[in-house]
């Protein structure tokens, strides 16, 4: 086999390999969409973050506007401190409420921003005033059962009738 044929085949092979890598990066991975480069950081204090993880998306109206940069625990105030990196293109009023939400029934958790009406906007290093913690499923169920029991107590026959139906 002569030199030119080998060179041609190796060229084809390397081009194919690099093309596969490019396909993996752009079509399979999120390189094309995740290039939030210029960001500002704001803090949010939550009583409970549930299953929130670092790099979870920050969404407003369902659009990804940033990422969770870090999660730590404040041992003086006993709450979780979450720092959010938000794209500099988007500005939010100071009374915006971040809440920890779940995509789907058992999906990953993300932070949703409920936009307020303050004319002043959040700047780098600011902290959200009001936040809404993650919903813990066990607490929700126990509250539901407690409510059911409480409303069933006074008029027992009616509740029993409803159950048999």
Partner 1 sequence: MFDAVLRGLRLIGRNVIDRIWRLGYASRFFAAVLMHSGTALRRYNLTIREIYFAGVLSLIIISVSGLFVGMVLGLQGYDTLQRYGSSDSLGVLVALSLVRELGPVVAGLLFASRAGSAITAEIGLMKATEQITAMEMMAVDPIARVVAPRFWGGVISMPLLAALFSALGVFGGWLVGVVLIGVDDGSFWAQMQAAVDFRQDIVNGVIKSAVFGMAVAWIAVFEGYDAIPTAEGVSRATTRTVVTSSLAILALDFVLTAFMFRGI
| Residues in touch with partner 1 (CB under 8 A) | 3, 6-7, 9-10, 12-14, 16-21, 23-25, 27-31, 33-34, 53, 55
DSSP secondary structure, 26-58, as one string: IIISSTTT----SEEEEEEEES--TT--TT-EE
Look at residue 164 and give its three-state secondary structure.
helix
Q: Residue 96: enclosing H or E segment and its boundaries?
A: none
In the complex with partner 1, the residue whose CB is nearer, 17 or 70, is 17
Nearest 5°: the CA angle 71, 76, 82 is: 15
CB of 22 to partner 1, least distance (A): 9
In the complex with partner 1, the residue whose CB is nearer, 7 or 124, is 7
CB of 48 to partner 1, least distance (A): 21
In the complex with partner 1, the residue whose CB is nearer, 57 or 116, is 57
In the complex with partner 1, the residue whose CB is nearer, 13 or 146, is 13
Q: Residue 25: enclosing H or E segment and its boundaries?
A: none
Six-digit token string for 43: 């803090």
CB of 26 to partner 1, least distance (A): 9
CB of 104 to partner 1, least distance (A): 9
């Amino acid at each position: 086999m002569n030199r030119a044929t080998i060179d041609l085949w190796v060229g084809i092979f390397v081009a194919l390999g690099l093309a596969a890598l490019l396909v993996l990066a752009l079509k399979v991975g999120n390189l094309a969409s995740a290039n939030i480069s210029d960001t500002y950081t704001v803090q949010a204090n939550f009583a409970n973050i549930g299953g929130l993880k670092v790099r979870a998306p920050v969404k407003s109206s369902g659009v990804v506007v940033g990422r969770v940069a870090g999660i730590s625990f404040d041992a003086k105030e006993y709450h979780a401190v979450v720092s959010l990196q938000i794209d500099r293109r988007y500005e939010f009023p100071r009374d915006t409420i971040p809440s920890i939400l779940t995509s789907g029934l058992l999906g990953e958790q993300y932070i949703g921003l409920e936009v307020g009406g303050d004319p002043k906007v959040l700047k780098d290093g600011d902290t959200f005033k009001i936040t809404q913690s993650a919903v813990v499923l066990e607490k929700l169920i126990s509250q539901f059962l407690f409510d059911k029991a409480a409303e069933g107590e006074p008029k027992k026959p009616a509740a029993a009738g409803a159950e048999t139906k």
